Amino acid sequence: MQGGFNRSTRTGELRLLGTKRSLALAVADPAKVTGRVPHTKGLGLDAAGVALGKDGAVVVDERYQTSVPSIFAVGDVTNREQLTPVALGEAMVVVDQLFGPAAGKAPRSMAYEFIPTAVFTHPNIGTVGLREGDARKKYGEVTIFRSEFKSLKHTLSGSTERTLMKLVVDTKSDRVVGLHMVGAEAGEIVQGFAVAMKAGATKAVFDGTIGIHPTAAEEFVTMREPARS
């Protein structure tokens, strides 16, 4: 749905405006996300013979080499994962290819599975791995674990803020393939769990891990009953 939004001065209700329909939502503060496209115009890439794809993205192979063998491209201009740490990781792969890895080290590689991300709103949003719908398409049968609660500290603060956590598990292998959180310090928490997920942690590994009490993060290792499958 394309369009914009407006807020009623009388009720405070936010209305999303589309070209064919609109949707009324009761929210405190809206966040408008616009996205971005690679800024490659004016770089002379056409003149150099560098192939461009959709939205002006530079086309590269698995070695980040463009259609011109002497030109490599990494980061946002390739329109893969638009994240600074991803661009740094890709650059390190290119460095090892061109100059060789450090003594005694294997050449670095880049994997795009289980890249953790965060939105630093209040509260934070943190995520790593697949969303439920994507996991169902890839694995077929998945099991969902979900928890929503009020943080212990807010029993004293009086805040109504709540925390949401969700695990997506491939039922057949028991591997945790998606981990999502909305709550305080979600970015910090998800970063740690991303290491375990990249290493192939299963739900049994999560269940066998002792939680740190009282923390919000312990909820990820104490969810026992599935919400749905």
Containing 89, the helix (H) or strand (E) segment is helix 84-99
Task: List the structure tokens of 105.
Answer: 């080290």
Strands, E assignment, 64-220: 117-119, 124-129, 142-149, 163-170, 176-183
3-class secondary structure, 212: coil
Strand order across the 4-7 sheet: 4-7, 14-17, 22-25
CA distance 178 to 168: 5
Catalytic residue selected from 39, 122, 154, 213? 213
Helix (H) or strand (E) holding 15: strand 14-17
Helices and strands in the chain: count of H runs, count of E runs: 6, 8
Using an 8 Å Cβ cutoff, are 126 and 193 in contact?
Answer: no
* Nearest-angstrom CA–CA distance, 222 and 210: 8
Task: Spell out the residues 6+ positions from residue 81 whose beta carbon is closer than 8 angstroms to its own.
Answer: 112, 115
Task: Give yes or no: 213 in active site.
Answer: yes
CB 2 within 8 A of CB 17: no
Report, as residue numbers or ranges, the catalytic residues: 213
